[in-house]
Amino acid sequence: MSGETAWQAIDAGATAIVAGSAVFGGADYAAAIAAIRHSAPPELPGLIESEGSLDRDHLKRVAAQRAVEFVESGMIVGLGTGSTAGFVVEQLAARVARGLAVVAIPTSENTAALARPARHSARKLR
């Protein structure tokens, strides 16, 4: 998600943003995060709070974990495309296995394939 699409999602009701490629597509993660933050309306809190390592996969996992913490039963969750979305699916699947009930809408066949095992697991739990 870019700065522009992030605010479109927020206008549509999103309360958390996971910006994988927009942040991790370049070499300077801090600059990418700053650019998204600077494009934010002033009333919006920070997008990503990270501590420690600037390792790409670590930051993607932190972003995914933080985003999934906001998900509650009954929500409709859009699943993006890319490796950060894969981490979101992984985190979400763990919560679904523990009883979280959500409808997930993938934006790619790859993400749909990653999400299918969680869907089948959730059906067995119900």
For residue 3, pLDDT over 80 is answered with no
- Please report which residue ranges of 1-126 form alpha helices under DSSP H: 3-11, 20-24, 29-38, 56-69, 83-97, 109-125
Pair of tokens at residue 16: 């958390």
pTM score above 0.75: no
For residue 93, the cross-strand partners are none
Q: Are 86 and 92 in contact (CB under 8 A)?
A: no
For residue 49, pLDDT over 50 is answered with no
Q: How far apart are CA 7 and CA 92, in angstroms?
A: 23
Q: Residue type for 80, please?
A: G
What pLDDT, in 10s, does the model give residues 82-109?
888 899 999 999 999 999 999 888 888 9
For residue 29, pLDDT over 50 is answered with yes
